[in-house]
Amino acid sequence: MFQSTPESKDKLSSDLIRTTPDFNDMIRITLWSGLGFIFFMFIKSYVVIYFFGGSGVDLGIIMALQPLARLFSMPLVAYLIDHTSKKRLVLIGSMGRTLAYSIYWISLVIPNLVLFGVGAFIQGLLVAFFWPPFFSLISEKSFKGNRTQALATGRGRMIGYGFLIGAFISIPIFAFVSVFIPENIPLMYSPLLIFAIINFFAGIQFNRKVDESLTFEKYMASLNDSNLNGDNHTEHNENSEYSRITVNKHNVEGTANIEAIKNVENVDKKQNQIFNIGFAALILALLATSITGTIYSPFISAYLIENLLTDVSVVIVPILVMIVYFPAQVISQLTASKLGKSFDRISPLRSVMIIGFIKALMIWLLIYAFSAFDFAVILIFLYIAAESNVYLIQAIMSRISIKHRGKIFSLNMWIDRLGRVIGPLIGGIIWDTMGDTIPFIISIYLGLCLIPLYVFAIRKLRSYMIEQVDIDKIGFLKKKNKKN
């Protein structure tokens, strides 16, 4: 976890204080939410074809329903983030997950593929209220130079812990019932009901404990104020560590900081044009990335079953699929915050290129795996690269604007969901008509083609970020010179 209090009252710096005191309590909701993620992701990719008897197109449609629903609710969420309580929006999202899990369970007991699709649509519609305000709160409660790590910890590491605990709950239940009483479908999929109840109470606790009015800047200002000892200028000196506005450290007034921020955000028309070009390129890259990733990802478990588990008993197959998924999901999430810390110190340009090439390589290795074990190991590195890419892009987006950060996150997720609607549909058609390896191969080439687009977008945008992070010419974070 991040350190939320200083080691010394005399030393207030970003090296010691990275988040607000309530940050760890706030992000704990993702642990409880994450309990059901690994079981739900397995179910969604497995039951459509191997339980309901659907086709690749059917799987593509089911996968597209959730992001399609988010396209409808996201504009409303974007508006509400800046006009109402963020923690109440997170509560709505948590309740939505409870409702969706309950519908999934009923659809499996009946069984009814259409009702399963209704559950996916409702989940997308309501859970859209969860993530944008949650990411916005993480950004507001963390130091800008530590943003990628904060986002990765708030979502990645805590969800990783949730994956770990959830797997120990769901896998034994599912495996035991599958082997000994396979006809008992309600009990086999009962973890869905367990996770539905947990999400309900987690949302209520989040709404009660989080103080959304306490931002990182306000927290630092309060600490600086407590150490002033009559010197009114010290507060502004400390705040300058977190603002990148060049001021005189001993003579600036609070109003000067406000005016400086306004001057930074009021760029001229030419600068706006360059910014708009870069922002449009970034949005296009985000959409293409989402499409590229979801062309193949819904079919990972099906590819594993069709190519590497053909000689395994039908009863054991779903258990093995869960076991293959388990380490990849958990390890990728738990390592996300560590990787986030590394990417906070490396130029976004270099980070984008490194992640892009690793993802392409891992997808290529995945389709040439010799065994389920090889498949599982490669999947770990593929998911690590994919998660790293998500947090890197979120960190870049969070620095574009402070005032409209909630809208930026909502736009990011809206574009991502649009791609998640298009990608599975294309992937499903390709899976049924061209073979099970083609979606993976197409994703490799498209992913490599996107690297230059990201580089172009970041180069255009980096001078106009409201929150700036110093990166030297080599591409690594500058270290401050120490005075002897």
The CATH number of residue 91's host domain is 1.20.1250.20
- Residue 258 within any structural domain of the chain: no
- Residue 368 within any structural domain of the chain: yes
Look at 93 and 254; give whichever has higher pLDDT.
Answer: 93
Domain count of the fold of the chain: 1
pLDDT digits 0-9 by tens, 279-327 = 889 899 999 999 999 999 999 999 999 999 988 888 888 888 888 888 8
Residue 174 scores a pLDDT above 70: yes
Q: Please state which of the ranges 79-93, 96-110, 402-416, 458-472 shows the lowest mean pLDDT.
A: 458-472
pLDDT at 352: 86
pLDDT at 287: 93
**Helices and strands per DSSP (H, E), number in the chain:** 21, 0
Q: What is the mean pLDDT of residues 222-243?
A: 51
Contact (Cβ atoms closer than 8 angstroms) between residue 225 and residue 235: yes
Q: Tell me how far apart the alpha carbons of residues 464 and 68 are, in angstroms, rounded to a whole number.
A: 32
- Residue 249 within any structural domain of the chain: no
pLDDT-derived band at 272 (thresholds 50, 70, 90) equals confident
Spatial CB neighbours of 325, under 8 Å, sequence gap ≥ 6: 38, 41, 42, 301, 379
What range defines the domain where residue 326 resides? 24-210+267-464
pLDDT at 341: 64
pLDDT at 5: 45
pLDDT-derived band at 29 (thresholds 50, 70, 90) equals confident
- The residue assigned the tokens 């506005």 is 245
DSSP 119-182: HHHHHHHHHTTTHHHHHHHHHHTB-GGGHHHHHIIIIIIHHHHHHHHHHHHHHHHHHHHHHH-T
pLDDT digits 0-9 by tens, 126-166 = 988 988 888 888 888 888 777 767 777 777 778 878 888 98
In 3D space, the residue among 263, 297, 336, 333 whose CA is nearest the CA of residue 419 turns out to be 297
Q: What is the mean pLDDT of residues 98-104?
A: 95
Contact (Cβ atoms closer than 8 angstroms) between residue 29 and residue 205: yes
- Residue 312 within any structural domain of the chain: yes
Contact (Cβ atoms closer than 8 angstroms) between residue 322 and residue 305: no
Q: Please state which of the ranges 43-52, 168-177, 205-214 shows the lowest mean pLDDT.
A: 205-214
- Residue 442 within any structural domain of the chain: yes
Q: What is the mean pLDDT of residues 75-81?
A: 84
pTM of the model: 0.72
pLDDT at 121: 95
Residue 79 scores a pLDDT above 90: no
pLDDT at 193: 95
Q: What is the mean pLDDT of residues 199-208?
A: 89
Bridge partners of 420? Answer: none
DSSP 10-76: TB--TTT--B-TTHHHHHHHHHHHHTTHHHHHHHHHHHHHHTS---HHHHHHHHHHHHHHHHHHHHH
Q: Tell me how far apart the alpha carbons of residues 476 and 350 are, in angstroms, rounded to a whole number.
A: 9
Q: Please state which of the ranges 223-227, 292-296, 450-454, 460-464 shows the lowest mean pLDDT.
A: 223-227
In 3D space, the residue among 18, 10, 29 whose CA is nearest the CA of residue 224 turns out to be 10
- The residue assigned the tokens 């960190």 is 395
Between the two ends of the chain, the Cα-to-Cα distance in Å is 31
**Average pLDDT of the chain to the nearest whole number:** 80
- Residue 307 within any structural domain of the chain: yes
In 3D space, the residue among 419, 446, 427 whose CA is nearest the CA of residue 299 turns out to be 427
The single-letter code of the amino acid at 299 is F
- Residue 235 within any structural domain of the chain: no
The single-letter code of the amino acid at 478 is K
pLDDT-derived band at 403 (thresholds 50, 70, 90) equals low
- Residue 66 within any structural domain of the chain: yes
pLDDT digits 0-9 by tens, 8-17 = 443 444 446 7
